[in-house]
Amino acid sequence: MTLAACAEIVRRGDPDRFLAAMAAPPAARQVLFPLYAFNLEVSRAPWVTEEPMIAEMRLQFWRDVMEEIGAGKPPRAHEVVAPLHGAIRAGDAPLLDAMIAARRWDIYKDAFEDQAHFDSYIDASSGHLIWVAARALGAPDAAEPALRAHGFASGLAGFLRAVPELEARGRVPLLDGTPQGVRDLANRGLEKLAEARAGRASVPADAGVALYAGWRAEAALKAARDVPERVIEGKLDESEFARRVRLIRLSLTGRW
């Protein structure tokens, strides 16, 4: 039940976030690795079984953990729960609980109800994670709009990359899957990214490392905007060289 255990979970299951955390200062990793390991455990819980009730139970485990953290109870003896308990504040537990609740959409095969439902899913599953991480790293309340805008953009980019897999598993991920619908969605993500950067001054450098996890967002959103068919084809990824250069530049400059 150490930070190393969380880091190994992230390394195996979420290579992009692992690299993003490794690009951050060592002190920040004490926050990032437990949160990213928690996010991974929650995000894959709906997919490890075809039985909705079992998936619901797996998510409920984490909701119970959040209730205990929020109540200030001692952490469970669990390789992710214990480090997570030390990384976040009790007041952040409701945000992470809402993030878990949003993942219930992944269990079932119903389409999103409307744009508001889709937006709330992206904000809860990505925006809450980034906001909690940044707050734990010292972000003030004034930074929340910029952080959430960035969280929406990076969450949307990740969702678009997942569209082929979601469709293969019988889900209906997009409200409008036409090329123009995809293009409009990608443009919204790029607008959110621009909004986040306009508020960069409100985000302290130490907290800004929470945004490193979105290092691939801009390239994916631009690819979806320029050639929407790449979303369905699963071809939003840039070259390995371009990915590495982008991350190196981010780690050297801190300009997300």
Asked if 164 and 230 touch (Cβ cutoff 8 Å), the reply is no
**Cα dist. 33→38, 89, 131, 226 in Å?**
8, 15, 15, 34
pTM listed for this prediction:
0.95
Residues 6 or more apart in contact with residue 184 via CB below 8 angstroms: 176
69, amino acid identity: I
Q: Write out the chain's pLDDT in tens, 256 residues.
A: 589 999 999 999 999 999 999 999 999 999 999 999 999 999 999 999 999 999 999 999 999 999 999 999 999 989 999 999 999 999 999 999 999 999 999 999 999 999 999 999 999 999 999 999 999 999 999 999 999 999 999 999 999 999 999 999 999 999 999 999 999 999 999 999 999 999 999 999 999 999 999 999 999 999 999 999 999 999 998 888 888 899 999 999 999 9
Residues 6 or more apart in contact with residue 2 via CB below 8 angstroms: 83
